[in-house]
Amino acid sequence: MLAPPLVVSGLTVYPVKSFAGTAVGSVEVDAAGPQADRRWMVVDAAGDTLTARSHPRMLAAVATPVGAGIRLSAPDLPTLDVDPPSGPADVPVRLSRLDTATRAGAEADAWCSELLGSAVRLLWLDDPARRGMSEKFGGSQADPLALTDTGPVHVTTTASLARLDAWAAELHDERVGRALAAGEPAPAPRQPLDMRRFRPNVVVDGDLEAFAEDDWGRLTVGDVELRFADHCGRCVLTTIDPDTQVKGKEPLATLARHRRRDGEVWFGIQMVPVRGGRISVGDRVEASAR
């Protein structure tokens, strides 16, 4: 009997860097990755990029693609539609391989400042080709890159999340056992790990070994072809609950036990578009090894 095909089970875009993602049924992919993905960012007065690593409340905000622009929403704030600005890219920023970006406007600045409780600005990247990938992460300046950290398309699998969650459950049970043996209060009940913590663009489901994606060299999804760029080293952002914005120990504690090398922990892969096109949930995925 033939194994069931691999399929796309989830697609997410993140129009504003470090805001919550927006699940979509389909997305157009070009050389810079999913269209509308990470073309906007929030910076402070010095031009430093702000992320949820230091500002967890950013994960309470959502930027939904609306036409060529975005719709901002967050608890206790009115929704605000923001169009791509037409002005020059003249705001200095401190981001790797990018010197300037374009201010979204006073209303957008005020909305983001209210969200974070300090004076900040919302900026737009007019052209990802102005940035380009780093050779450190499997690309080159010829590969356009929006405002993501490493690669244009982030891919994970449900099989890997299931294995990681099982490991996390084992570690939690160990902590409970040690606490009970020492007569101490047991840790709070464990919540299953949510894929949203890892912020992938494409989630692949099917009859896979956990972490099979580590060895993928190419993926074909519909008309889109992707090549491997790098494995994803994970940071403290993954420890922030996407619903409560409360920091914990997982999944980094479990990754450190099972998926640690070269001083980092790893989950998922970054890929570069070789051929663009449209990807939809339910599309068949063809994977080949490096």
Average pLDDT over residues 84-111: 96
In the predicted structure, residue 187 carries a pLDDT above the cut 60: yes
The confidence score (pLDDT) of residue 43 equals 98
Q: pLDDT at position 1, please?
A: 42
Average pLDDT of the chain is 96
- In sequence order, the 6+-apart residues with CB closer than 8 A to the CB of 21 are 12, 13, 14, 196, 199
Per CATH, the homologous superfamily of domain 6-289 is PK beta-barrel domain-like (2.40.33.20)
Asked if 281 and 1 count as a contact pair (C-beta separation under 8 A), the reply is no
Q: Where are the domains of the chain?
A: 6-289
Concatenating the DSSP letter of every residue in 105-154 gives: -HHHHHHHHHHHTS--EEEE-S-GGGT---GGGT--TTS---SSSS-SEE
* Structure confidence by residue, pLDDT tens digits, 147-179: 999 999 999 999 999 999 999 999 999 999 999
Residue 146 CB-density burial (10 A; 0-12 exposed, 13-18 middle, 19+ buried): buried
Residue 3 — pLDDT band, cuts 50, 70, 90?
low
Residue 2 has pLDDT above 90, yes or no: no
Distance of CA 82 to the CA centre of its chain: 22
Query: How far is residue 127's CA from residue 129's CA, in Å, rounded to a whole number?
Result: 5
For position 222, what pLDDT does the model report? 86
The whole-number average pLDDT for the span 8-33 is 98
